[in-house]
């Protein structure tokens, strides 16, 4: 008689468990290799750490070193109300906070943000946090400060879609609460509700959005605020040439730079559209592909990356930047190290910031 091989259910379950454990072990092995790269790092010597601390203090600077802001509480409160008010869009569907969500580190985590008519904008919405520390505003640098920037989206038909400055002025002049608030902030003026005063108030509010991170605590003298891995990551970040553009308290925002010094950016980012950057504003051939260098503060939380939100993963963004801007093929250890450091730039909500973003 021919023998029939039978596999009983219990055998199947046992084989499944063995297979699952094997696959999990392989996956864990890969993760362990990545973690080991970071956890096995030898601590910096006291001399090395002191040198790193000195260099970082010179290149970047702590949030605590910012000068005291003398803006009145009334002005800040007015700016805050305007920032969160949907009446600053034509159909009253969005506010500044719609694209720059303060509970999401100042962004909406979308490649392109929907405006008042739900049409998508053409560039990624950058974070409102630390924006006042930049030397210019917008990806093409066309606004000199946050006050000028605040007026841009309001009048943009794809964003807030307010048809004219007078349209918004007349709308807010019909609101009793705004009548009282503007009169208090701008006393002695016959008609304080003007477009210029609206943007000044929003800018005054945004200038308060500079919360500290663990990196700032380290720069302020708390040597335990950063881990060994993060300190080594800072060293890698500096030695890899990232500080050529990403320096200052904001870790960027201080200059325009060509995106793609060592190649065409869209070949690596897989961008669906080629954006000419500053060129669209000036029509100067030398301005093609120039964009404002973004701040790296909160970068781990403000994905997707680049002017068109074309890259979702921070590791990929770091790798692309190394290739396009420095002509370097960063290895996995270098990428991991830099990313570990960049995560230390994520803000920590202090009581002042909690108050500023609460509604």
Torsion of CA 21, 26, 30, 35, to 10 degrees: 30
Distances in Å between the alpha carbon of 141 and those of 33, 145, 184, 327?
Answer: 42, 9, 33, 25
Phi/psi-derived region of residue 255, left when phi > 0, alpha when psi is between -120 and 50, beta in every other case: beta
Torsion of CA 121, 123, 129, 130, to 10 degrees: -140
Grouped pLDDT means (10 residues each) for the chain, 359 residues? 39 38 42 44 86 97 95 97 98 98 97 97 98 98 97 98 98 98 96 98 98 98 96 97 98 98 98 98 97 98 98 98 98 98 95 90
pTM attached to this predicted model? 0.86
159 catalytically annotated? yes
Q: Please tell me which residue in 147, 159, 229, 334 is annotated as part of the active site.
A: 159
According to DSSP, residue 142 is labeled -
Radius of gyration of the chain (CA): 25
Residue 122: CB atoms within 10 Å? 13
For Cα atoms 240, 245, 247, give the angle at the middle one, nearest 5 degrees: 90
CB within 8 Å of 209: residues ≥ 6 apart = 102, 106, 128, 129, 130, 131, 132, 353, 356
- 135 with 191: CB under 8 angstroms? no
Tokens, residue 148: 């000028």
């Amino acid at each position: 008689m021919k023998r029939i091989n039978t596999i009983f259910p219990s055998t199947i379950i046992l084989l499944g468990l063995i297979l699952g454990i094997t696959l999990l072990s392989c996956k864990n092995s890969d993760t362990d290799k990545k973690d080991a790269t970071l956890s096995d790092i030898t601590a910096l010597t006291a001399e090395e750490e002191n040198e790193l601390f000195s260099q970082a203090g010179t290149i970047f600077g702590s949030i605590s070193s910012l000068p005291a802001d003398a803006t009145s509480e009334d002005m800040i409160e007015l700016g805050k109300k305007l920032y969160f008010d949907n009446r600053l869009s034509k159909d009253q569907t969005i506010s500044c906070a719609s694209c720059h969500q303060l509970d999401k580190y100042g962004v909406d985590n979308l490649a392109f943000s929907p405006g008042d008519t739900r049409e998508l904008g053409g560039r990624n919405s950058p974070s409102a946090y630390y924006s006042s520390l930049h030397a210019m505003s917008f990806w093409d640098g066309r606004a000199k400060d946050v006050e000028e920037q605040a007026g841009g989206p309001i009048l943009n038909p794809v964003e807030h879609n307010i048809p004219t400055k007078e349209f918004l002025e007349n709308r807010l002049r019909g609101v009793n609460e705004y009548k009282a608030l503007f009169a208090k902030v701008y006393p002695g003026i016959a008609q304080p509700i003007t477009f210029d005063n609206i943007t000044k108030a929003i800018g005054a509010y945004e200038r308060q959005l500079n919360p500290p991170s663990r990196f700032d605590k380290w720069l302020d003298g708390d040597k335990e605020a950063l881990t060994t891995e993060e300190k080594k990551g800072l060293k890698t970040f500096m030695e890899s040439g990232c500080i050529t553009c990403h320096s200052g308290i904001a870790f960027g925002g201080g200059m325009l730079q060509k995106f793609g010094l060592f190649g065409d950016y869209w070949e690596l980012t897989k961008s669906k559209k080629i954006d000419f950057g500053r060129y669209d504003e000036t029509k100067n051939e030398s301005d093609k592909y120039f964009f404002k260098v973004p701040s790296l503060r909160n970068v781990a939380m403000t994905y997707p990356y680049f002017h068109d939100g074309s890259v979702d993963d921070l590791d990929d963004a770091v790798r692309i930047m190394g290739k396009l801007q420095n002509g370097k093929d960063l290895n996995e250890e270098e990428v991991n190290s830099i990313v570990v450091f960049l995560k230390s730039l994520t803000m920590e909500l202090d009581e002042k910031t909690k108050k500023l973003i609460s509604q």
